[in-house]
A and B are shown apart, each in its own frame.
Chain A
Amino acid sequence: LARQAELLPGTLDMVILKAISLGDVHGYGVLLRIEQISGGAITVQQGALYPALYRLEHRGLIKSEWGTSENNRRAKFYRLTAAGRHGFGEEKASWKRLADAIAVSLMATPQEI
């Protein structure tokens, strides 16, 4: 099992958006998918998931539709909106810049100063 990683504040939304961008999914599915794509390194607290989903929906980044889940029960499926795709793209780019900057910073040697 991979080692658990702590989600940085503000990154939960981005991870959820990524999970949903891979295909329509219900709430529980979001949890599973995040675990799956992070290789089990990221576990989202169940209590934090739904407020985040509703917040994203409130902001118009995702929208929901009722459908039937794999166990034949009515379930609410989430999907990325156009605004969501745009927002996710921006966040991803911004995150990449930050991660690169931190990585470069961490590689710095005394000779570079």
Chain B
Amino acid sequence: VPGILALVAGLVARMQSLSDGLRRRDDIESKMRDEFRHHIEMRSADLVRQGVEPGEAARRAHVEFGHIDSHREHARAARGLQLFDQARFSWIDVKLALRMLVKHPLLTVAAVLALAVGIPVGLAPAHLAQAIEAPLPGDHDDRVRAIRYWNPLTMGLSSTGYEEFRFWSEQLESFSALAAFRTAPYNVALASGRAAPAPGALVTTSIFDILRVQPAMGRTLVAADGEPGAPAVVVIGNDLWKSRFGSDPDIVGRDIRIGPVLHTVVGVMPEGFRFPANEQLWLPLPQEPVAAVGGSSSVRILGRLADGVSAEQAQAELSAAGGPPILDLLAARLRLQAEVVPFGFLYMGLPRSGLASEPGYYFIQLLALSLLLVACGNVAMLLFARTATRFRELAVRTALGASRTRIVSQIFVEALVLSILAAGVGVFSIDWLLGHANLAAIAGESDLPYWLSLGVTGETLVRALVLAALSATVAGVLPAQRIIGRAVYPSIRSAEARRSGVRFGGFTGALIVADIAVSVAAVGFALAIAQQTTNMRQADELAGIPAEQYLAVEFTMPFSGSPNDAERRRFADRLATAQRKLVAQLQSEPGVNGVAVSDVLPRMEHRSQPIEVEGFERGPDDPPQWMRYARVDVDFFRALGQEAIAGRVFDNVDVEGGPAPVVVNAPFVDRMLAGQDPIGRRVRVQGDTAWHEIIGVVAHLGVNMVNSESGGAIYLPAAPGQINPFQVGIHVGSSPTGMVSRVRDIATRADPDLVMGTPVVLSDVIQGDLYLTIAMAAGLVLLVGVLIVLAVSGIYAMLSLSVSERTREIGILTALGAQRSTLVWVILRRSLLQIGGGAVIGVPVAAWLLYQLAVSSSRTSPLDAIVVAVGLAAGIVVIVGLFACLAPTRRVMAIDANEALKADG
């Protein structure tokens, strides 16, 4: 027992002493000096007592004691503080580092460029995940959560209805309040003015409390506004107030027309509030009576967690409560899971575990970090080359007693200054880019949701600094270790001979080979992407639709009446009438060749569902076969000038009740039926009970613009009034945009409640993933640029050092009559082999990527791909070789034998 106690006491004492040494350094040092002084005085007094003359006694006492500073160093070392002292870097180190950066500007630019790309790339995945998970603006204590159904089969959302909202509002005690909302565009006008569409949301009045937002003017909606028979009121957004009502200070209390109904404006929300995404109108959501199965209208649900309740506790309560009894059976059949998630997860359709649980996430994170590692490796190589030129200085300093840790920490500070600079440049240029690039377009949306803030946060800055420090460790400490890990005396001797004695080993060679190989592969990838985008034209040819002659317009009719069955039927009839009138009017316009109605037009992003074909049913655990689908008017194909390749297209009989037949496109037949005759076969949505018979096959029809062969689709017929919102493709001979104002007039006449979206010419519609592809290609081009700059500067640095050190040798060889070309070859051989090696490794990868990505759409043969890849590699080799080797070669050619021998003799 006493042994253990002594051990514990010893440990505690060590911790205490270490912490004192670090915290009270000055105090301890001053006391140490006092103690030493006392010692010397006592010794001096002893000597005086022994008869030594006082002056001599003091001198002798000092000499006997030795150097105070050295004792102090040893005393600190005895306390275990040595490492801290040596690793402590001073402001002078930072100044030295800055001077080195200015002294070698090319190296600085190359290294900063590499890390300024590498660090933000390394940060991006975590940054995005964090942005999506962040609490909504105004929800400072992060208490707002959405409640949703998740379908584990499709890994997607399943809709919730008013019935769920009512049930969970009554059942769940984990939430202090729940709210429901649904979005739709509305035609908005001042009582007398011309109407124009604005995005809006029907919300339960609790929403403003839950989101903790206050109006900028007037009030928000209150419970009484949602009661049946209450006067029609609306809260409008700041943007709408400014753009449509000229920032009218007296807007509160005025009447505006929303559709045909006059609403009183009761409040204006503050700038930036656009809940749930980009909405500008908030109307009370009508209360719904208890409905039969599936009878309630679809709403999204969110709530505020009650005080002291965690999201996990709320989830546990929700899982126990399940769904409303009449709907729970249905939910159970579909194996739906009720979940409590951050609002961003509901909006983005992410699984409950977030972005980080997506299978691709870690792969991308790993890829991003390996890119950063390659960048660090390259910077390490550059720093290594530069440190090598200072070898003499380092060797002398080591001989004079500078510890290795000291020198390593100085080189580390240089790398740290470099990487912090790069992190700053990288993070702030990305921040600038995010502020200026049209991110919404890249994501295929018209605007990003108001709560998604991709700007740089404090947390991201901290992460950037951590990555910078890690990068500095890789880029700085490794080369420093290699250089000072050598014996001092031989180093000084070689330093005297003006040779660093430093050899660039396999590490640098491997890096250059890797740079070139990755560049070649990335160029191949970028080229393959470029080729994919040109395939869009091909999809047009396949579809056979002259897209530039079509005007595409989306129409919506918002449903804001009481949600009972009679009202719903009335609404459907009204929508059907409006659609029929609209189409008939448009068709009678001069110059209009046809009007196609559907929920999605060719070239637009189609939705997908898991589909199975009769006779090829899939088990519940089989991975689903996703197929895109569209609901189309019976005249859709005729209006697009499409004829059936096999069977027939839709007719009026197909929507007169009974199980609806379907039409499929050619890629569907290829993929699902391996080209067998599809007519008469039946298909269904996986897990559904209703089968649909295939009655016809049409051409590709622009379902997947990037890769037409994976654009298989199913078309379901829909009668007028069954699709809301619906797309209208108007085939106008020439100049479709000239039709816009006519279309607006016709729509208003067909029904003032019909909200018209922004019209576009169909050939300008680009599927979202295309922009993503283009952004990716741009990123790859940037990557290749950085890699080439790195390879060039790395080789250049090595060659320069090699030429400087071998000037004398070259002089002697020249004097002995060696050919210049031989000398150049001797110097360049190694680098040229590395460049060539990289190209040889990169070619097959590039060829494979080119072939893989291009093969599905264009008829690229493997030979074509190899020829193109070899061409790319040759181009990169020439560029890198020329830039890196030209100047050193010229220096070799210019060496004068006499001068070289004299200078070094």
A59 touches B13 (CB 8 A): yes
- CB of A34 to closest CB in B, whole Å: 14
B45 touches A71 (CB 8 A): yes
Counting contact residues on chain A (CB < 8 A from B), the size range is 20 to 34
User: Mask for B1-23, Cβ within 8 A of A = 1, else 0?
Assistant: 01101100110111001100000
- CB of B405 to closest CB in A, whole Å: 19
- CB of B17 to closest CB in A, whole Å: 4
Q: Is B78 interfacial (CB 8 A cutoff)?
A: yes
Q: Which residues from chain B contact A75 at a C-beta distance below 8 Å?
A: 35, 38
Q: Which residues from chain B contact A73 at a C-beta distance below 8 Å?
A: 38, 41
- CB of A4 to closest CB in B, whole Å: 16
User: Mask for A51-85, Cβ within 8 A of B = 1, else 0?
Assistant: 11011011111000010010101111000011100
Q: Nearest chain-A residue to B8 (Cβ)?
A: A83
Q: Is B71 interfacial (CB 8 A cutoff)?
A: yes
A76 touches B14 (CB 8 A): no
With a 10 A CB-CB cut-off, give which of A71, A81, A86 has the most chain B CB atoms: A86
Q: Is B77 interfacial (CB 8 A cutoff)?
A: yes
Question: Contact check: which of B9, B35, B43, B78 meets A60 at CB < 8 Å?
Answer: B9
B9 touches A55 (CB 8 A): no
Question: Contact check: which of B38, B39, B74 meets A74 at CB < 8 Å?
Answer: B38
State the majority secondary structure of interface residues on B.
helix
Q: Which residues from chain A contact B13 at a C-beta distance below 8 Å?
A: 57-60, 81, 83
State the majority secondary structure of interface residues on A.
helix
Q: How many residues of B contact A (CB 8 A)?
A: 32
B12 touches A28 (CB 8 A): no
Q: Nearest chain-B residue to A56 (Cβ)?
A: B78
B6 touches A27 (CB 8 A): no
With a 10 A CB-CB cut-off, give which of B9, B36, B43 has the most chain A CB atoms: B9
With a 10 A CB-CB cut-off, give which of A51, A54, A76 has the most chain B CB atoms: A54
Q: Which residues from chain B contact A58 at a C-beta distance below 8 Å?
A: 13-14, 17-18, 78-80
Question: Contact check: which of A61, A71, A83 meets B41 at CB < 8 Å?
Answer: A71
B65 touches A59 (CB 8 A): no
Measured in the bound complex, the distance between the Cα atoms of B34 and A50 in whole Å is: 13
Q: Is A111 interfacial (CB 8 A cutoff)?
A: no
Measured in the bound complex, the distance between the Cα atoms of B17 and A47 in whole Å is: 21
Measured in the bound complex, the distance between the Cα atoms of B75 and A58 in whole Å is: 10
With a 10 A CB-CB cut-off, give which of A52, A60, A76, A83 has the most chain B CB atoms: A60
Q: Which residues from chain B contact A28 at a C-beta distance below 8 Å?
A: 38-39, 42-43
Q: Is B66 interfacial (CB 8 A cutoff)?
A: yes
A27 touches B14 (CB 8 A): no
A83 touches B35 (CB 8 A): no
- Given the interface pairs A51-B74, A60-B14, A83-B13, the reply to whether A74 lies near B34 with Cβ below 8 Å is yes
Q: Nearest chain-A residue to B65 (Cβ)?
A: A46
A83 touches B6 (CB 8 A): yes
B10 touches A50 (CB 8 A): no
Q: Which residues from chain A contact B79 at a C-beta distance below 8 Å?
A: 54-55, 58
- CB of A25 to closest CB in B, whole Å: 12
Measured in the bound complex, the distance between the Cα atoms of B32 and A75 in whole Å is: 11
B3 touches A60 (CB 8 A): no
A50 touches B6 (CB 8 A): no
Question: Contact check: which of B2, B14, B78 meets A86 at CB < 8 Å?
Answer: B2
- Given the interface pairs A75-B38, A76-B35, A83-B9, the reply to whether A59 lies near B64 with Cβ below 8 Å is no
Question: Contact check: which of A47, A55, A82 meets B6 at CB < 8 Å?
Answer: A82
Q: Nearest chain-B residue to A82 (Cβ)?
A: B9
Q: Which residues from chain A contact B18 at a C-beta distance below 8 Å?
A: 58
Q: Is A40 interfacial (CB 8 A cutoff)?
A: no
Measured in the bound complex, the distance between the Cα atoms of B188 and A2 in whole Å is: 112
- CB of B538 to closest CB in A, whole Å: 77
Question: Contact check: which of B9, B14, B64, B78 meets A54 at CB < 8 Å?
Answer: B78
A47 touches B9 (CB 8 A): no
Measured in the bound complex, the distance between the Cα atoms of B3 and A57 in whole Å is: 18
A69 touches B74 (CB 8 A): no
- Given the interface pairs A54-B79, A59-B13, the reply to whether A71 lies near B42 with Cβ below 8 Å is yes
B10 touches A27 (CB 8 A): no
A59 touches B42 (CB 8 A): no
A54 touches B75 (CB 8 A): yes
Q: Is B24 interfacial (CB 8 A cutoff)?
A: no
- CB of A54 to closest CB in B, whole Å: 4
Q: Nearest chain-B residue to A89 (Cβ)?
A: B2
Measured in the bound complex, the distance between the Cα atoms of B10 and A82 in whole Å is: 10
With a 10 A CB-CB cut-off, give which of B5, B6, B31, B75 has the most chain A CB atoms: B6
Q: Nearest chain-B residue to A45 (Cβ)?
A: B66
Measured in the bound complex, the distance between the Cα atoms of B14 and A75 in whole Å is: 23
Measured in the bound complex, the distance between the Cα atoms of B7 and A90 in whole Å is: 13
Question: Contact check: which of A46, A51, A76, A83 meets B5 at CB < 8 Å?
Answer: A83
Question: Contact check: which of A51, A59, A82 meets B77 at CB < 8 Å?
Answer: A51
B66 touches A47 (CB 8 A): yes
B38 touches A50 (CB 8 A): no
Q: Which residues from chain B contact A26 at a C-beta distance below 8 Å?
A: 35, 38-39, 42
User: Mask for B79-119, Cβ within 8 A of A = 1, else 0?
Assistant: 11000000000000000000000000000000000000000
A52 touches B78 (CB 8 A): yes
Q: Which residues from chain A contact B77 at a C-beta distance below 8 Å?
A: 51
- CB of A5 to closest CB in B, whole Å: 20
Q: Which residues from chain B contact A76 at a C-beta distance below 8 Å?
A: 31, 34-35, 38
Measured in the bound complex, the distance between the Cα atoms of B43 and A24 in whole Å is: 19
User: Mask for A74-112, Cβ within 8 A of B = 1, else 0?
Assistant: 111000011100110010000000000000000000000
Measured in the bound complex, the distance between the Cα atoms of B390 and A36 in whole Å is: 55
Q: Which residues from chain B contact A90 at a C-beta distance below 8 Å?
A: 3
- CB of A77 to closest CB in B, whole Å: 10
Q: Which residues from chain B contact A66 at a C-beta distance below 8 Å?
A: 31
With a 10 A CB-CB cut-off, give which of B31, B38, B77 has the most chain A CB atoms: B38
B34 touches A60 (CB 8 A): no
- CB of A64 to closest CB in B, whole Å: 9
Question: Contact check: which of A51, A61, A82 meets B75 at CB < 8 Å?
Answer: A51
A50 touches B74 (CB 8 A): yes
Measured in the bound complex, the distance between the Cα atoms of B5 and A14 in whole Å is: 20
Q: Which residues from chain A contact B35 at a C-beta distance below 8 Å?
A: 26-27, 50, 75-76
- CB of B265 to closest CB in A, whole Å: 75
Q: Which residues from chain A contact B12 at a C-beta distance below 8 Å?
A: 60
Q: Nearest chain-A residue to B17 (Cβ)?
A: A58
Q: Which of B153-210 contact A (CB under 8 A)?
A: none
With a 10 A CB-CB cut-off, give which of B35, B43, B64 has the most chain A CB atoms: B35
Measured in the bound complex, the distance between the Cα atoms of B78 and A73 in whole Å is: 26
Question: Contact check: which of B10, B38, B39 meets A83 at CB < 8 Å?
Answer: B10
- CB of B14 to closest CB in A, whole Å: 6
Measured in the bound complex, the distance between the Cα atoms of B79 and A86 in whole Å is: 21
Q: Nearest chain-A residue to B70 (Cβ)?
A: A47
- CB of B37 to closest CB in A, whole Å: 9
- Given the interface pairs A58-B13, A76-B31, A83-B13, the reply to whether A46 lies near B64 with Cβ below 8 Å is yes
- CB of B22 to closest CB in A, whole Å: 13
Measured in the bound complex, the distance between the Cα atoms of B15 and A59 in whole Å is: 9
With a 10 A CB-CB cut-off, give which of B10, B43, B64 has the most chain A CB atoms: B10
A55 touches B14 (CB 8 A): no
Question: Contact check: which of B6, B17, B64, B71 meets A57 at CB < 8 Å?
Answer: B17
Measured in the bound complex, the distance between the Cα atoms of B9 and A82 in whole Å is: 9
B6 touches A51 (CB 8 A): no
Binding site for B on A (CB under 8 A): 26-28, 46-47, 50-52, 54-55, 57-61, 66, 69, 71, 73-76, 81-83, 86-87, 90
10 contacts between A and B (CB under 8 A): A47-B66, A50-B75, A57-B13, A58-B17, A60-B12, A60-B17, A75-B35, A76-B38, A83-B9, A86-B2
Give the top 8 A-B pairs by smallest Cβ distance, nearest first.
A60-B13, A55-B78, A83-B9, A51-B74, A83-B6, A54-B78, A28-B42, A51-B78
Binding site for A on B (CB under 8 A): 2-3, 5-6, 9-10, 12-14, 17-18, 31, 34-36, 38-39, 41-43, 45, 64-66, 70-71, 74-75, 77-80
Known contacts A46-B66, A47-B74; 13 further A-B pairs (Cβ under 8 A): A26-B38, A51-B78, A52-B78, A54-B75, A55-B78, A58-B13, A60-B17, A61-B10, A71-B42, A71-B45, A73-B41, A76-B35, A83-B9
